[in-house]
A and B are shown apart, each in its own frame.
Chain A
Amino acid sequence: MKRFSEQNHYEILEIPRSATAAEIERAFRMAEAIYSEGSLAGYSVFGDGEAAAIRERVETAYRVLTHPESRSAYDAMLGGRESAPATESSGEPVEVIAATEDAADPASRPQRSAQPRDDLELEEEEPGEFDGGRLRRSRIHRGIEIEDIAGWTKINPTYLRFIEEDRYTDLPAPVYVRGFVTAYAEYVGLDAKQVAASYMESFENGTRRGRRGRFLGGR
């Protein structure tokens, strides 16, 4: 059981050493929320100046781990002894949110055995269609806000909302939507390929229906 001052950057952010860019971002945003001034989860626990000091450590961890070069150097400094996520048996901090299974960079993809537990396990739905409603539920189950995704992906939050509301005809060209949905899924921690394929199928059908609807409506 380590004190804050003894924790490394991964432990500070509660992520495994194999964390993807999306996982680091999510963990950072979570930590930012926890240690912000007046945070509901923390204000009654932190002593004077304590939250600010931790925030500084969180920001340093984020800065180091989000740049491939500084992360490599830091990993080299930590050495190989902690190359597996310190979660399974050691009682060390475990990751807060489910890992992304389809990371863009295969080298940074978490190992199956390193999957953190998803405590909520609220997504009971069987494999199948990923429509906007299901994406929204998955996001909320992980405590992620639209603005979190928009901040990382740089996608206009209005488009993210349109995706969740299945407002296909208000969305831009399919190539953009595929990119948006892939980035959304990566951030939320879903299988991006599966989600994009499923959503785009609905999108194609939806836009076709939408066009026909407008035509029949005399527009």
Chain B
Amino acid sequence: MKGPVPSPTAAARVIPVGGGKGGVGKSFVTANLAASLAQQGKRVVAIDGDLEGANLHTCLGVPKPRCSLADFVAHRRDDLEDLLLETPFPNLRLIAATHGNLGTPQPGHARRVRMVRAMRSLDADFVLLDLGAGTHSAVMDYFMVGDDGLVVISPEPTSVENAYSFLRAAFYRRLRLAMASHAMQEIVVLAMDQHNERGIRTPLDLLHEIEASDPEEGKRFVETMKAFRPRIVINEAYTAEDVKLGFAIQSVARKFFGIECDYIGYVNHDEKARQSVRDRRPLVESYPESDAAIYLNRIAKKIAAEPIRVG
């Protein structure tokens, strides 16, 4: 399995990794999936998209990045290829997010669009994009870079709540772009306010509202719903109940929001995982025999095996 495999297509497959809440293990999961894909012979670039809390470089054993995405944001560099850093692991390169401008850490919209385009053109099979916490517009724009981004959730109320907010925000943002008429875009914006006067609480409520007003837009809505296929990873699962949580969230998202999520796996709680973070190395490299590494490898294999989605 080792050794680079030629890329099947010119465009890199960009996989954003979000989740809404900080501290659920997004960077840990991103670093390990990137390392695992690289171990499988894929050419991988891991990008730290968290310009306000960069730490992917640490998870990947790159202590002091000499350049970062912040250089692109500040217009010091225009080509993402120039920001690529080697990691200690074959096939795996990094774009860090260190030394950002604390005053204006996020790029403006035009710069963001350009950044996303540049990510797709990177010379790699997979680009894994570690996102920051929250549902800031920049985070959501990055999450929209693919239809099937990962949502990392830990089995805690705060994480689950934020994950739902994240899923809703991602869906509404995508939907607003899909609507052709200004009137329907306005309804989507209205629905984003949880206390809107029309009583639209969920994407399903919104669908019924839009279908009633404009059946053509209703069709576009359904198409957008079908294309949006976020994938759930439960991190730090201790019990079977925690594992079940992934299925439960999948069911609630489907029934209440009309969002079809794929539950692609869980990573169990493992002391070795903590140790790997302390060692500043991916778990799949340091402790490949640990349970958590085995589960991470399975998720990575599943990602690698899936055909590139269109639409």
Contacts and interface: CB of A to CB of B under 8 A. Distances in A.
Task: Please determine whether chains A and B interact with each other in the same assembly.
Answer: yes
Interface of A: 1, 3-4, 14, 30-31, 33-34, 39-45, 47, 91, 93, 96-97, 119-122, 124, 139-145
Looking at B241, B247, B263, the one whose CB has the most chain A CB atoms below 10 A away is B247
Contacts of B161: 44
Interface in B79-136: none
A2 B186 CA distance: 24
A143 B247 contact: yes
Contacts of B260: 91
B160 A41 contact: yes
A97 B252 CA distance: 15
B47 interface: no
A34 B204 contact: no
B155 to A, nearest CB: 7
B157 A120 contact: no
B222 A1 contact: yes
Interface of B: 155, 157, 160-161, 164, 201, 204, 207-208, 222, 225-226, 239-241, 243-252, 254-256, 258, 260, 262-266, 295, 298, 302
Looking at B160, B208, B255, the one whose CB has the most chain A CB atoms below 10 A away is B255
Given A1-B204, A40-B155, 4 more contacts: A1-B225, A41-B251, A119-B264, A124-B298
Contacts of B239: 145
A143 B160 contact: no
B304 to A, nearest CB: 13
A42 B256 CA distance: 10
Looking at B164, B240, B256, B265, the one whose CB has the most chain A CB atoms below 10 A away is B240
A120 B244 CA distance: 11
A145 B247 contact: no
A121 B262 CA distance: 12
Contact of B245 (A4, A40, A44): A40
Contacts of B295: 122
B7 to A, nearest CB: 25
A41 B249 contact: yes
Contacts, number: 86
Contacts of A39: 248
B247 A96 contact: yes
B interface, by DSSP: helix, strand, loop or mixed? helix
A97 B250 CA distance: 11
Contacts of A144: 240, 244
Contacts of A33: 241, 244, 248
Contacts of B251: 14, 30-31, 34, 41, 96
Contacts of A119: 250, 262-264
A61 B251 CA distance: 17
Contacts of B240: 139-140, 143-145
B241 A145 contact: yes
A96 B207 CA distance: 24
A141 B225 CA distance: 28
Contact of B254 (A93, A120, A121, A124): A93
Contacts of A30: 244, 247-248, 251
Given A45-B164, A120-B265, A122-B298, A143 B204 contact: no
A-B pairs, top 3 by smallest CB distance, nearest first, are A143-B244, A41-B248, A143-B243
B254 to A, nearest CB: 6
12 contacts: A1-B225, A4-B255, A14-B254, A30-B248, A41-B245, A42-B252, A44-B160, A93-B254, A96-B247, A124-B298, A143-B243, A145-B240
Contact of B263 (A40, A45, A120): A120
Given A143-B245, A143-B247, A47 B207 contact: no
Contacts of B160: 40-41, 44
Looking at A45, A93, A139, the one whose CB has the most chain B CB atoms below 10 A away is A45
B91 to A, nearest CB: 22
A43 B204 contact: no
Contacts of B255: 4, 93
A140 B239 CA distance: 8
A40 B246 CA distance: 11
A34 B263 CA distance: 16
B248 A34 contact: yes
Nearest to A146: B240
Contacts of B207: 1
B252 A34 contact: yes
Looking at A42, A91, A143, the one whose CB has the most chain B CB atoms below 10 A away is A143
A34 B256 CA distance: 12
B246 A44 contact: no
Contacts of B262: 119
A61 B121 CA distance: 51
Nearest to A119: B263
Contacts of B254: 14, 93
A31 B254 CA distance: 13
Nearest to A92: B254
